[in-house]
A = this chain, B = another copy of it.
Amino acid sequence: MKLVTRNTDYAVRALCYMAHNKKRIVSVSELVSKLKIPRPFLRKILQALHKNNILASIKGQGGGFQLTSKIDKISILKLIEIFQGHFKLNECIFKGIRCPNIIKCRLNKKIGKIEKRVRMELKSITLEDLIG
């Protein structure tokens, strides 16, 4: 089970790299050569980060990406939600439909409590913590 999938992971690395080179514009090419992430996949990831206002993009020659916010404002939770959707540990199998399963509902309630705490912890971890 993966709390963090590969695209989120790559995003973390790319952003941390960019954080080291603060304010500088970093191109996909540079990131590819430094981080060894497949180029088109990384491109897609950076575009997603752009759409979510984590990165600014500069088109054209000499262009690339740039962090928009301070790294202590970017949490792992946020990145997870960009790439993996709304963070939920206990999705009911019978979403929408009337749940026929009281047992599972009890379990979901308990998992819901765990989820709430995990969510808080993930929210508290920022890129800054990873760069140290």
Contact = CB atoms under 8 A, between A and B. Distances in A.
Interface of A: 1-4, 6, 9, 12-13, 16, 36, 76, 84, 87-91, 93, 100-101, 103-104, 106-107, 110-111, 114-115, 117-118, 121-122, 125, 129-132
Contacts of A125: 107, 110
A12 B103 contact: yes
Residue from A3, A100, A106 whose CB has the most chain B CB atoms within 10 Å: A3
Nearest to A105: B130
Contact of A13 (B6, B9, B104, B132): B104
Contact of A106 (B101, B103, B110, B130): B130
Looking at chain A's contact residues, the main secondary structure is: helix
A48 to B, nearest CB: 18
A4 B130 contact: no
